[in-house]
Amino acid sequence: MFEPKIHTTKELGDNSYLWGSGSEGFLVDPQRDVSRFLSDAEASNIKIKYVFETHLHNDYLTGALEIREKTGAEIIVSEQANVKFPIS
């Protein structure tokens, strides 16, 4: 497992994390600007397999859908989340 890559958006006060082990990885709460996560994953030779959303709320724009579109990653959210897109 490698040291996680942490991206902070200071203006919004939130963090996103990329974790990986071997050739597979996952993202936690990816912010809307996904290019940095994709670059980190590529540089680390990691395929993003999962995206975990832990804090969906109405003033947060997630990058999960774009990550799924570009990588085929599965999106994981709480059963209680009221999302309008397919999840696992």
Query: In sequence order, which residues have a C-beta less than 8 Å from that of residue 80 and are 6 or more positions away?
Result: none
The model's pTM:
0.82
DSSP state letters, the chain? -PPPEEEEETTTTEEEEEEEETTEEEEES-BS-THHHHHHHHHTT-EEEEEE-----TT--BSHHHHHHHH-PEEE--TT---SS---
pLDDT for position 56 = 67
Q: Is residue 83 part of a domain?
A: no
Number of structural domains (the chain) is 1
Q: Is residue 14 part of a domain?
A: yes
Q: Is residue 18 part of a domain?
A: yes
Q: Is residue 85 part of a domain?
A: no
Confidence band, pLDDT 50/70/90 cuts, at residue 23 = very high
Res. 88: pLDDT tops 80: no
pLDDT digits (tens, 9 = 90+) for 34-86: 999 999 999 999 999 999 988 766 556 788 989 999 999 999 887 666 666 66
Q: How far apart are CA 40 and CA 48, in angstroms?
A: 10
- Residue 20 domain boundaries: 5-76
Q: Is residue 81 part of a domain?
A: no
